Structure 1
Amino acid sequence: MTTLINLPLKTATVRDLVWDEMFLLLEDYRDVHGTVEVKNTLIFRGMSLGRWVKTQRESQAKGKLPADRAARLADLGMEWMPHHQSLWAKRYDLLLLYRDQHGNVEVPQSFVTDGVPLGVWVGKQRMKYRRGQLSPERVASLEKAGISWENQKRSWKDAFSILESYREEYGHVNAPDGCTYQGLHLGTWLQTQRRAYRVGTISSERIVALENLGVVWSLNDASWEHHFALVTTYKEKHKTANVPTRFIEGDVKLGTWIKNQRIAFKKGTLLPERQARLESLGVRL
């Protein structure tokens, strides 16, 4: 005779029951208001529903929310990025699109795209920045896009004059990304000029002025020029242009760069113009 062993079924924990209760509460809220987007401070039927929703999003972001719960919330209409954040991200994407099309992020206040008053939105970001109400993450994202907070009304001629001063001080115009000089985000300004050049929105007069100053439009060329300028400075200090392989200038592995130029020369991939400039500086290829 076979004896049947009744294995105990997995019972729901108190936490499981609480979670189910809050889920049903969120479902009721959706049925009443047509959305599951709630403020973090929302109290609904005596329960801290807003805080609970926030906790679910945080758990999902950390990869700690069980898949079945994530699926149930998604079916209910949950967006894992809060609505105000996803809305900001969409506006930011429109700003990047504007930059790609116009070569800059100086959006006119009256500019509207896809029904979105983008110029007004950019103005609000500037206002929030001045008031200290913009998160560090958003500040960084906007600066990466090309937004400059200081000296917003600085003229192109003023910025060009600052670039001239930079060249006089450093011997080149290849200000690195993130460089701030005389109160101007010079690296960002140069990127803006290059974007405008690529999309054809910069005047021929400005192109000539920048090229005469030494600006190169390709970022690869700019990088090469920056390294070459560092080798020039190295020679002035050490009386030789043959940089040791392990030598590092700031965060630039200058010795490795020289080594790569020698490798390119041996492979026949070093441009003749660059070869001539390196040799005239005294670099042994």
Structure 2
Amino acid sequence: MARSNAETPVSAVWRAHYEALLNWSSRTVGSQHVNCPKDCVVGNLPIGTWLVDQRARMRGTDKSIATLDGERRALLQALVDDGKLWLQNPERRSWDEVFQAWTRWAHEKHGGNDYNVRHNETYEGIRLGTWVNLQRMRLRDKYPQENGKTPLTAQQKAALLELVAQGKFRIDAVDRFPIKFDLMMKWSEETVGGRHCNVPYDCVYEGERLGVWLNTQRQRLRGGTTKSKSELKAEQREMLEKLVQERKLWVSEPNMWDEKYNLLLQWSEDNNNGEHVNIPQAAPPYKGVQLGSWLATQRNRFRGKLGKMKPLTPEQELKLNELITQGKLKMNPLKQ
């Protein structure tokens, strides 16, 4: 039976992307190569993401997607053979290259005694923190190989375990609860004279999102759901409950409006001898609180621009109205 020249709809779509890729190559790089950027779109065809998918199918490492059939594979393989298409990014660093960069980082930062990288660390253009976390997962055999990721080789595993044996590299992440707890106590002493530990939710203290952390601990203390799968350890629960018993920490959130209102008055005294409370919206945090953003929100609530916000209570509205009457609060601070 003679082979039909008619293509299935899927083949027609594939060929349209293929032809668009060749057209892009001809117009953009003089047909030197077909390695278009991932975000490349020709007409209405996203050939960049399409090419990423074709590379994965050619490599056959991702078990969740089908490999290419003979005709399509032959067309792409011809481009590979001509040196116009790469299947593995030539700029991608090998495992050994990243390991060597990691070693250089450890020697520069810690004299070679500590290889534990923060998750967001970038070094020599390498997302080193992400890479190190991946190696931890592979060491613990927790990386899903069904996603096409290969396990560590014996040599790679030995290199990592040697660092572990030397005490230079942790397989499991460090428990940061004691660190954050001590930071909370320091915030308490410096900010409110140790009277309480109720760090505002939006507080960033010494580079740490301390308010977010405390909110998570409250949820764990109440037994609610959090993104963290772990429950509080007995000693952690005891540390928090001691603060609750001493009335230095609340578990169920009270009305924080008055606390921020009083903080606004304090800002006024510190910055303009109580003349006005018009803190700029983009002002830096005051005692760990984004007070400018909070005041902008209260202005909107006062004017009835609620969106998803609750309206002001009569008492709150009265307090703001008193500031307006006294000439200390402007509803439109940009207008003179």
TM bucket by the smaller chain? Answer: 0.3 to 0.5
User: TM-score, normalized by length of structure 2?
Assistant: 0.34
Q: Which has the higher contact order (CA 8 A, sep 6+)?
A: 1
